[in-house]
């Protein structure tokens, strides 16, 4: 799961969303220095990643990309799954995607001082290009994949994965839909424990 899913799976708590959003850049016990709800978001993020990486449906989706993209297949798959969440957003939320993402960007601004430096540096690019809303289109996904590939010095040509996205579109979408229902239920359980 990529940014949009991690934020969405955090429920309505802004600090939980922020923790879940920036968790990838926080190593080991470094999460302990954050406010309680942010810490819980980081913990939830880690649970989501563990659940996702081990899930047979997600692994089936990722397997289609593995031969061509190797180590980066999981990164790409996370982004493709976010595409299906954004594309089918009205099935999951009564709030428009544009409003939801604008509110999240605002909460990042409102809580700027607790963000990691990496997140603070990412914010201008993310908001200017409206990454979270752009996930809804194939062109938006191609842009995101290109930016990810740029950050890895073009080791995998990740933007080419739109070819596989289009070729296996219905398979990926069905797999996402089944998987995401299970992931949502899992996250609700985990949030009760936090």
Residue 148 has pLDDT above 90, yes or no: no
What tens digit of pLDDT does each residue of 48-92 get?
Answer: 999 999 999 999 999 999 999 999 999 999 999 999 999 999 999
Residue 194 has pLDDT above 90, yes or no: no
Residues found in the chain: 194
What is the rounded (10 degree) CA torsion for 188, 51, 177, 24?
90
Burial of 45 by CB count in 10 Å (0-12 exposed, 13-18 middle, 19+ buried)?
A: buried
Mean pLDDT within 113-125: 94
Contact criterion met (CB below 8 Å) for 70 and 156: yes
Distance CA 137, CA 79 (A): 12
Residue 179 has pLDDT above 80, yes or no: yes
Residue 154 has pLDDT above 80, yes or no: no
Distance CA 130, CA 188 (A): 27
Nearest partner of 55 among 194, 166, 190, 180, judged by Cα: 180
Report the 3 state secondary structure along 98-130. HHHHHHHHHHHHHCHHHCCHHHHHHHHHHHHCC
Contact criterion met (CB below 8 Å) for 16 and 190: no
Q: Which is more confident, 150 or 168?
A: 168
Q: How many CB atoms lie within 10 A of CB 169?
A: 14
Tell me the pTM: 0.95
Mean pLDDT within 128-154: 91
5 DSSP 8-state letter: H
Check residue 147 and give its pLDDT.
87
CB-based contacts of 120: which residues, under 8 Å, 6+ apart? 112
Mean pLDDT within 171-181: 98
């Amino acid at each position: 799961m990529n940014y949009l899913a991690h934020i969405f799976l955090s429920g309505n708590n802004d600090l939980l969303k922020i923790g879940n959003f920036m968790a990838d850049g926080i190593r080991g016990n470094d999460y302990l220095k954050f406010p309680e709800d942010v810490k819980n978001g980081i913990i939830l993020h880690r649970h989501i990643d563990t659940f996702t990486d081990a899930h047979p449906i997600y692994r089936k989706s990722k397997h289609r990309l593995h031969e061509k993209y190797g180590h980066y297949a999981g990164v790409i798959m996370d982004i493709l799954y976010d595409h299906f969440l954004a594309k089918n957003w009205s099935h999951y939320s009564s709030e428009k995607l544009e409003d939801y993402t604008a509110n999240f960007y605002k909460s990042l601004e409102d809580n700027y001082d607790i963000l990691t430096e990496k997140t603070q540096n990412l914010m201008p690019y993310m908001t200017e290009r409206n990454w979270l809303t752009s996930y809804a289109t194939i062109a938006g996904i191609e842009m995101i994949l290109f930016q990810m590939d740029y950050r890895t010095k073009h080791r995998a040509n990740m933007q080419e994965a739109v070819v596989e996205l289009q070729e296996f579109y219905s398979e990926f979408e069905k797999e996402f839909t089944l998987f995401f229902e299970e992931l949502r239920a899992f996250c609700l359980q985990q949030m009760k424990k936090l």
